[in-house]
Amino acid sequence: MGAISVGQFVSSRAGRDINKNYIVLRVIDESFVEVADGETRKVERPKRKNIKHLRLHKYINKELQQLLESDATITDQQVKDAIQLFLKMRDHGKEEGSTVDGKR
């Protein structure tokens, strides 16, 4: 299935939250991650998801990745903005570039 990274954009493909978009906040082990969307799943209470139940996208938000790797605090708004940026890029066919810095 390929490696998963903090700051990576994922979509749920199973469960009650099917098709919901998330950002990976923490890789627990080779089978599970913690994800948040900044709305229903806040950064303070991330959702634990089985990696098999996620659709992995190539997009990794570099700004969030650096913050998460340095154990800095991130906000729900930063997560929401990262998801919106990805959705905007995807709608314009720019998912190919696997990393972005999150700046507008």
Q: Return the structure tokens found at 44.
A: 């303070």
pLDDT at 104 (0 to 100) = 44
**Residue 11 buriedness (CB in 10 A; 0-12 / 13-18 / 19+):** middle
pLDDT at 2 (0 to 100) = 64
Determine the longest span between alpha carbons in the chain, in angstroms.
33
pLDDT at 101 (0 to 100) = 53
pLDDT means per 10 residues in the chain (104 residues)?
A: 86 92 96 96 96 94 94 94 90 58 49
- Domains of the chain from N-terminus onward: 8-100 (2.30.30)
